[in-house]
Amino acid sequence: MAGEDAPFFATFSALVSKSMVVALTGPGGTKRYRLLETLRHYGLERLTESGREADARQRHAAHYAAFAEAADDQLHGSDPTGWSSQVVRELPNLRAALDWSFSNGDLELGVRLAGALRWWFFGRMGQLEEARVWLESAVERRAELPTPLLLKALTALMTVAMSQGDYRRTSDIGEEAVALAEQLDDRAELAVALMARGCASVYEGNAARAVECLERSLAHCQARGDRWGKAWVLTFWGIQSRRVGDDVTAREQLEDALAIFRDLRDAHNQVIPLMQLALVAQQSGDLGEAASLCQEAIVLARRLGDRQLAHGATCISGRVELTRGRLDEAERLLIASLRSFPGAQHQLTVALAVEGLACIAHAANRDREATELWGFADEVRSASSTPLTSSRREERDEQLRQARARIGSEAVDRGLAAGSMLSFQQVLVLVETD
């Protein structure tokens, strides 16, 4: 506190002692300081009046862009433990910096921020739709971006689209991102691009491309000592193994991913491996274990306050209860999943929930409702490029065959067509009415 900083610290200490600035103790005894709200508003008014607000906000955004980039580097480093909690504590500042950068036309600063925060928009920041708009606009303005920042915009857009379950868009830009990363010899961005492209290929049903991309991404993560990235690659690879019926390999891959996230003390990213392990248990016929894993995932998502993860875990739980024959409980959970996160649903989760409700309607001989729900789910899957697995396709086709026998082919075709035109809100009304 010597030299030119001494007057600042003396004034600051006086403000703390007078309770005009509140000292907050964080993890590990770290200190943070917060102005009283009335003083904060007063200070902002004076800053605006002085004509220096834009400069202050630009410096604030630049500071948090540098912080976010350091956090992203550490997240993919050999020891990312602790950085997640630091980013969580700074989310209000990071949101403010993002909003200012994009709304005030600082495209490069906005892309730096959005690129570094690409993994945080899912659930924790709650700005998936805004991030999608920002990044789509940035990619459209590619001529204004240096090539490394264009690559960052592409990989960030891939991860946001992937987080929304829009695998068609993820694939559309995935090949360009992979090629550009290879051209720049940017191994870090190449690992991310291959990971997201591989995930999209999993759900598109392109097994060969999925394995190729995930295998290459895993090699880059291991070469860089990126355990966090490795855990995500193993998660997506585990999903691929499950979808082709290799339950043994799927369980090994997902348990390895879960173990890494637990070792890194990353509670947030434990939820998806837990959900996928529940689906493996369901597929293997161990419905008790599947239900237990679903409950663990739901409790963790709710404890974290992550509505999007809770949305997904509740859906998976509903599908497990459907397999167990507990139709009333399955219907309650599936409807709760659809209602849990309006406006930011994961498209595949929506399709899974609606398909489950179609199965319940079919079992109750409500064939017209069931066909409309299948029609809606088919449209969601088509738009997001997420075809049904072969076993679920057989289930759908058999239910529609039985419906044709009961109400006639014309009625089924009309129901499918009508369902494809329904909005999400109309589907909610339909399932909550019966």
pLDDT score of 2 more than 60: no
pLDDT score of 5 more than 70: no
Amino acid at the residue 334? L
Residue 15 lies in a domain: yes
**Residue 173's pLDDT is what?**
94
pLDDT score of 1 more than 50: no
Give the rounded percent of residues in the chain with a pLDDT score beyond 90.
60
Residue 27 lies in a domain: yes
pLDDT score of 13 more than 80: no
Residue 145 lies in a domain: no
* Domains identified in the chain, total number: 1
Could you tell me the pLDDT band of residue 350, with boundaries at 50, 70 and 90? very high
Residue 38 lies in a domain: yes
Distance CA 276, CA 264 (A): 19
pLDDT for 232-287, tens place per residue? 999 999 999 999 999 999 999 999 999 999 998 888 899 999 999 999 999 999 99
pLDDT score of 27 more than 90: no
pLDDT for 125-170, tens place per residue? 557 788 888 899 999 999 999 999 999 999 999 999 998 889 999 9
Q: What is the mean pLDDT of the chain?
A: 88
Contacts for 53-58 with beta carbons within 8 Å, 24 or more apart? 54/104, 57/100, 57/104, 58/100, 58/106, 58/109
pLDDT score of 300 more than 50: yes
pLDDT score of 222 more than 90: yes
Q: To the nearest 10°, the Cα dihedral for 213, 219, 225, 229?
A: 20
pLDDT for 286-295, tens place per residue? 999 999 999 9
Residue 319 lies in a domain: no
pLDDT score of 21 more than 90: no
pLDDT score of 49 more than 80: no
Q: What are phi and psi of 421, to 5 degrees?
A: -95, -5
Its domain, for residue 33, covers: 10-51
